[in-house]
């Protein structure tokens, strides 16, 4: 391995994709047990590596030289081997600054709460300070190592202006929880979450519901990788490359979730998108039928709508745990907020808005098998679709036209 990433567990890393999109070198993952780390670093058989959990401090004793920034933070995430010597640096600060600047130009005069006390939190402190923060406050459950507790933060720093999460709370596979109650910080003007899996954590969903600008950690990941690439090769990487790679990666990793009335064209448009993009198509109603071993009409007839909705929620949770697919949902998927949140965790929700007069009843849809039922459903659900949608696409022309508009709006 000439270039790559070392860590203990690397199964969900996006780093190879990011570096390969830059196209300057081959980049690989290498999981290393703690007992094997000394031998790997002593051999110095690489040109440049990134370092992740739990080795950002463990590598330091083996390095010949540290950058001033890495020394100040006490953590290294980039190691370059030049002429047999190891040089350690930290590009997380650059990545964090880039992430914060997507939300606000600077933090001049602001009070910034930083959740967590690990290496990423130290990078966040350095980034916030570099952007002019008046005060940085680290927050942890115990309040040790110079941090305050969450209760202290609620009581003493309710007027905080910006919040950065560097804890793993809300990260896959334990998504759906938030480390903090954002409603208790009414002056927040921005939230940055270092987590990028899922793409929208509970923290970010809460922020957006409160109208607070918020971003996940994917841009930070790409920006720090580009800074590492500069250290690896000695050649600059422009901001336009960072933006390009981030946009490509985000598009590839997000599910495209189709919501809308029964008969709005979700299945047809879904198949077209899957074929066009070479992605897997997941139809949640089909999964429900396979799991139940009976058609939707029989589930409704024998078990009732509540049982169907419970099964639907279970399927949606599973489908939403990963990304990169086309997801076609049932017409009632948006009736439960837990489903809306799950679909948004790794996806962008697209409302296919077919006019009421173009919706046709069919016998396989128990709630939409008559025109009168469709009219009542439309009146009830149309506002819910609009509220759940990240974007709306009218369904008036051919499926191909709809597919083209979806892709145009997403890219």
SS3 track for 69-112: HHHHHCCCCEEEEECCEEEEECCHHHHHHHHHHCCCCCCCCCEE
User: Across the beta sheet with 214-215, what order do the strands follow?
Assistant: 135-139, 111-115, 162-165, 191-193, 214-215
Q: Which residues pair with 351 in a beta bridge?
A: 259, 392
Residue count of the chain, please give it.
Answer: 411
Q: Kindly give, in sequence order, each residue whose CB lies less than 8 Å from that of residue 27, ignoring residues fewer than 6 positions away.
A: 3, 4, 5, 15, 16, 19, 20
pLDDT tens, position by position, for the chain (411 residues)? 999 999 998 987 899 999 999 999 999 999 999 999 999 999 999 999 999 989 999 999 999 999 999 999 999 999 999 999 999 999 999 999 999 999 999 999 999 999 999 889 999 999 999 999 999 999 999 998 899 999 999 999 999 999 999 999 999 888 899 999 999 999 999 999 999 999 999 999 999 999 999 999 999 999 999 999 999 999 999 999 999 999 999 999 999 999 999 999 999 999 999 999 999 999 999 999 999 999 999 999 999 999 999 999 999 999 999 999 999 999 999 999 999 999 999 999 999 999 998 888 787 777 777 888 889 999 999 999 999 999 999 998 899 999 999 999 998
Q: Kindly give, in sequence order, each residue whose CB lies less than 8 Å from that of residue 56, ignoring residues fewer than 6 positions away.
A: 75, 76, 77, 119
Closest CA to 255 of 316, 349, 325, 334: 325
The pLDDT of residue 173 is 84
* pTM tops 0.75: yes
CA-CA distance, 256 to 250, in Å (whole number)?
A: 11
CA-CA distance, 270 to 171, in Å (whole number)?
A: 28
224 token code pair: 């720090």
What beta strand segments (E) does 291-344 contain?
326-328
Fold of 102-216: Rossmann fold (3.40.50)
Q: Are strands 78-82 and 48-51 parallel, antiparallel or unpaired?
A: antiparallel
What beta strand segments (E) does 10-84 contain?
28-31, 48-51, 65-66, 78-82
The pLDDT of residue 118 is 86
Q: Where in the chain is the domain with CATH 3.40.50.300?
A: 254-410
Tell me if residue 237 falls in helix, strand or coil.
Answer: coil
Task: Show which residues are catalytic.
Answer: 56
Give the angle 8-12-18 at the CA atoms, nearest 5°: 105
CB atoms within 10 A of CB 337: 12
CATH architecture of 254-410: 3-Layer(aba) Sandwich (3.40)
Q: Where in the chain is the domain with CATH 3.40.50.10860?
A: 3-90+221-250
CATH 3.40.50.10860 fits domain 3-90+221-250? yes
Q: Where in the chain is the domain with CATH 3.40.50.720?
A: 102-216
Give the angle 270-275-278 at the CA atoms, nearest 5°: 110
């Amino acid at each position: 391995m000439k270039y790559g990433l070392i860590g203990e567990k690397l199964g969900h890393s996006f780093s190879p994709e990011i570096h390969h999109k830059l196209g300057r070198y081959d980049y690989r993952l290498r999981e290393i047990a703690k007992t094997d780390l000394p031998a790997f670093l002593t051999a110095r058989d690489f040109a440049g590596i990134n370092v992740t959990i739990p080795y950002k401090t463990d590598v330091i004793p083996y390095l010949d030289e540290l950058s001033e920034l890495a020394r100040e933070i006490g953590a290294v995430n980039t190691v370059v081997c030049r002429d047999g010597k190891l040089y350690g640096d930290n590009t997380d600060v650059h990545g964090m600054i880039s992430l914060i600047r997507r939300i606000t130009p600077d933090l001049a005069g602001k009070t910034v709460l930083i959740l967590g006390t690990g290496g990423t939190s130290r990078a966040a402190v350095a980034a916030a300070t570099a952007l002019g923060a008046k005060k940085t406050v680290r927050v942890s459950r115990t309040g040790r190592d110079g941090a305050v507790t969450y209760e202290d933060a609620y009581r003493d720093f309710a007027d905080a202006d910006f919040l950065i999460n560097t804890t793993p709370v809300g990260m896959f596979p334990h998504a759906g929880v938030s480390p903090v109650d954002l409603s208790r910080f009414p002056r927040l003007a921005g939230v940055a979450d270092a987590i990028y899996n899922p793409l929208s954590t509970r923290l970010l969903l809460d922020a957006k519901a409160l109208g607070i600008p918020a971003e996940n950690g994917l841009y930070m990941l790409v920006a720090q990788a580009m800074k590492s690439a500069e250290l690896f090769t000695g050649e600059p990487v422009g901001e336009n490359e960072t933006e390009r790679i981030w946009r490509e990666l985000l598009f590839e990793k997000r599910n495209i979730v189709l919501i809308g009335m029964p008969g709005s064209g979700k299945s047809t448009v879904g198949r077209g998108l899957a074929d066009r993009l070479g992605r897997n198509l997941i139809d949640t109603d089909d999964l429900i039928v396979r799991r139940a071993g009976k058609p939707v009409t029989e589930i409704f007839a024998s078990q009732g709508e509540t049982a169907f909705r419970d099964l639907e929620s279970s399927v949606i949770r599973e489908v939403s745990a990963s990304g990169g697919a086309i997801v076609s949902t049932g017409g009632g998927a948006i009736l439960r907020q837990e489903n809306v949140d799950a679909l948004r965790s790794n996806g962008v929700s697209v409302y296919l808005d077919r006019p009421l007069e173009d919706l046709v009843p069919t016998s396989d849809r128990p709630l939409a098998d008559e025109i009168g039922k469709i009219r009542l459903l439309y009146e009830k659900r149309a506002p819910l679709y609009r509220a759940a949608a990240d974007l709306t696409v009218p369904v008036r022309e051919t499926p191909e036209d709809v597919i083209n508009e979806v892709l145009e709006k997403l890219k």
